[in-house]
Chains A and B, each alone.
Chain A
Amino acid sequence: MIRTFGWNEFLFILGAVRWTLALSAIAFVGGGVGGLAVALARTSGRKALMRATAGFIRVFQGTPLLMQLFLVYFGMAVVGAAINPWIAAALALTLHASAFLGEIWRGCIEAIPPGQNEAGTALGLKWLARMRWIVLPQAARIAVAPTVGFLVQLIKGTSLAAIIGFTELTRAGQIINNATFEPFLVFSTVAAFYFVLCWPLSLLARRAEIRFARATTR
């Protein structure tokens, strides 16, 4: 018995949007904390820390997100934990976001003229205080546009969690498609939901970029 694509099927896909949002939020917050740590380590001037984080970034930027998901997913069994798509997807996307945000924010930190940091040192401020009060507030302004841009990439990336069986937006689409055999309609709907989530963010990122460019060129 083949179901038709009706109101209930639409609501099922709509309901799955919250799992996409939840996964994106976890990965973004986790990746924000991890990314800050990576960016600070990357700019710390300590050789071992810089090398380790550079390697971390390189591996995550040089391998497919899908493989990162698989490795975390199957890696959970290796370390003896129960395989759980929720935790695997959240962990893999958090690590992924940590690497990418770490690299983006490293660039923002390095864009601050070194004189700022040196002035802080001359005033007797410790590293943490210099970062907290001098460098990071200025770097944050530069970081807005690329960070929002990455958030769009992250939301789209959560779709890959469908492949390891986590029921978010894309997986909900697959489930409905298997019941209704209306792939054209179903995947158009799924794409439309992603578009509604991502497009405003893309516009925001672009506006932030333009505003920042206007503020810094004179």
Chain B
Amino acid sequence: MYDFNFAPVIASSDQLLRGAAVTLELSVEAMAIGLVISIGLAGAKTSKIAPLRWAVQAYIELIRNTPFLVQIFFIFFGLPSIGLRLTPNSAALLALVVNFCAYATEIIRAGIESIAVGQIEAGRALGLKPLQVFRYIILKPALRTVYPALTSQFIYLMLTSSVVSVISAGDLAAAGNDIQSKTFASMEVYLIITAVYFLMSIVFSAIFSAIEKAAFDYPLSR
């Protein structure tokens, strides 16, 4: 029978906490940067300039139909050979942003397209500038529509970020690999790490639904 021995893992709890902090930091940064870019890309995808739409569409299809692991390898190992050298941490962040945007752009675009044209025309008729129309008439109601999809995409991003441990980015899973290689308590280490990921995803879901209640607490027009 296997003897579980959690002592060496508990002894490295500092390292685990640091790893968890890096995972949180990477995920939140990737989402913040990714959201800004995705809003721009969603705008480009609904623009009148056809080549712009095609370029965004090609990027989305390429990212969505290849594994994140291969994207990480390409960015971390492939880009240096054309002169772009990145630290494991910035390569991880870049890969997460690139990956997240491909999904977030589609989500935001769906939100934008859910806005009735009459609503936009009404905004113009009231004399709002194009940027104001975009911000108040399109973006806010659109964000409300896509909020559930975006937040579950964020949790997915956080879970996916464990894959960046393959380039030793110092995240939670990488901390686990490190402790495992020192203590050989593989099962114990990964049980605890998995529990921490699970806890983070539960806490984030709770926070997101609290935000949803606070931010979008006005009745729907329909």
Contact = CB atoms under 8 A, between A and B. Distances in A.
B65 A202 contact: yes
Contacts of B77: 177, 183, 187
A157 interface: yes
B78 A188 contact: yes
B70 A199 contact: no
Contacts of B62: 191, 195
B181 interface: no
Contacts of B163: 64, 66, 160
Judged by DSSP, the binding face of A is helix
A67 interface: yes
A75 B188 CA distance: 10
A194 to B, nearest CB: 5
A126 B19 CA distance: 53
Contacts of A113: none
A210 interface: no
B68 interface: yes
B187 A78 contact: yes
A65 B193 CA distance: 12
Contacts of B79: 184
B71 A191 contact: yes
B73 interface: yes
Interface stretch (B130-138, B141-149, B195-203): B195-203
Given A62-B202, A64-B173, A75 B187 contact: yes
A62 B201 CA distance: 6
Given A67-B162, A188-B74, A156 B61 contact: no
A173 B187 contact: no
Contacts of A79: 2
B126 interface: no
Contacts of A202: 61, 64-65
B198 A63 contact: yes
A198 interface: yes
A53 interface: no
A184 B73 CA distance: 9
Nearest to B79: A184
B190 A70 contact: yes
Interface in A56-84: 59, 62-68, 70-71, 74-75, 77-80
Interface in A181-199: 182-184, 186-188, 190-191, 194-195, 198-199
Given A62-B198, A64-B173, A74 B190 contact: yes
Nearest to A192: B66
Nearest to A177: B77
B74 A191 contact: yes
Given A62-B155, A62-B202, 20 more contacts: A59-B198, A62-B159, A62-B198, A66-B165, A67-B190, A67-B197, A156-B67, A157-B67, A162-B69, A183-B73, A184-B78, A184-B79, A187-B70, A190-B70, A194-B66, A194-B70, A195-B66, A198-B65, A199-B65, A202-B65
The 10 closest A-B pairs by CB, nearest first: A183-B77, A159-B67, A198-B65, A64-B162, A156-B67, A62-B201, A74-B186, A184-B78, A67-B194, A187-B74
